[in-house]
Amino acid sequence: MNIVEIIAKKRNNKQLTKPEIESVIKEYTENKIPDYQMSALLMAILLNGASDKETTYLTDAMMNSGKVLDFKDITVVDKHSTGGVGDKTSFILAPIAHACGVKVPMIAGRGLGHTGGTVDKIESIKGFNTSLNLKQFKEGVMNHGMVLIGQTKDIAPADKKIYALRDVTGTVESIPLITASIMSKKLAEGASGIVMDIKFGSGAFMKTKADAQKLAKSIQSTALRSNKNIITVMSDMNQPLGLTIGNSLEVIECIEVLKGKGPKDITDLSIHLAAGMIVLAGLAKNISEATKMAKKSIKNGEALKSFRSLLKYQGASDKYVDNYKNFPTAKETCVINANNSGYIKTINGLKLGLLCTDLGGGRKQKTDKLDHGVGFTLHKKIGDKVTKNSPLITIHFNKNQKSIVEKIKKEILVNVYSYSKTKPTEAKLIYKTDIKWSK
């Protein structure tokens, strides 16, 4: 099919057919369509949108560009998050769900920009092998019940090419393209049901509730057309999730949650998402019943046992659970004190994520080497009362970073925190939960 005619058709706001979309994806994956023509089509989709059918056709074509796993009669359930600063729930909810009997396949990514990647974080634990091939991955899910690997060239290779192009052509924000990117990978990994954590706010990619709702509906529609059960959860990301930002720090915090001692916000959200997975797996009648099961798995230690088993299964030692000194950690700390009194009104999570990247905790370019030990520990969150000169945040850094730490201190005091004389209204962490069954 003629790519120029297809671009012009979408430019004129006409719907593309299934064969047209399949042809474009196949030929682009095979390098028969150049980047500049695909960029033109992506921009046309961004500007004119795409129907539910077009989005499903695009998702399927991207999914079928690589291998598609099939677990046959075994029910497997995964979770995906649209990401945000301090978002580390996978290391909590997966062991909880596993402890409650759910089989959990996890294919995760690395970080680029202001959010850390799941694979980067777990690699704070030496020896953890995220490079299992798809055969090992499938066997692990079926036999062990929970596996975490990095993105592979065998799963939705078209998405990898298209996402890299979207990142440099100003087309990341398109809801149909976001939907196809997420769902092509999740469907290819063989999940029977998916829990989708769609974040909105200053520290998320979706800034408003309205945009998050549009994405939720698009994902629901695509999942149902593919005969997959779906739960969408809209959650607030107007401040960092939990109290830590940085690879080792975040994994340690997750272990604390599994020990029953973690911060309330990340504990509550992780339990809620895990409960959704338990429901989709058919192990509970509703979220309320599943929530009780999830909480019990933490209280009786079964969720922590599941995390230990994940470490051992993928080549790492569980000594990290018992002694946090085994983690790579920064050698220096610096406590920043509040420069005002009152209540914390806002925390710029996006800025903190970027500052963590400046420390080496994230990547500005794909080739950047990570420092797993650096990051931040927050002592106050939105709504907390502070007095001038009381501890606000701790920077974890290394000796050769003192000059950059001075710049970061100024940025934090000027551009990260704002104060109010009265206590601000507490925002709901979990804004909305929708369950959609395909049958």
Torsions phi, psi for 110 (to 5 deg)? -100, 165
Q: How many CA atoms lie within 13 A of 80 on its CB side?
A: 23
In eight-state DSSP terms, residue 324 is: G
Token pair of 123 as six digits: 């690699």
Residue numbers annotated as active site: 80, 159, 166, 181, 185
What is the per-residue DSSP string for 64-122? TTS-----TT--BEEEEE--BTT--THHHHHHHHHHTT-BEEEEE----SSS--HHHHH
Q: Answer for the pair 212, 342: CB distance below 8 angstroms, yes or no.
A: no
Q: How many CB atoms lie within 10 A of CB 4?
A: 9
Q: Answer for the pair 314, 128: CB distance below 8 angstroms, yes or no.
A: yes
Token pair of 197 as six digits: 């954590």
Dihedral of the alpha carbons of 366, 393, 207, 151, in degrees to the nearest 10? 30
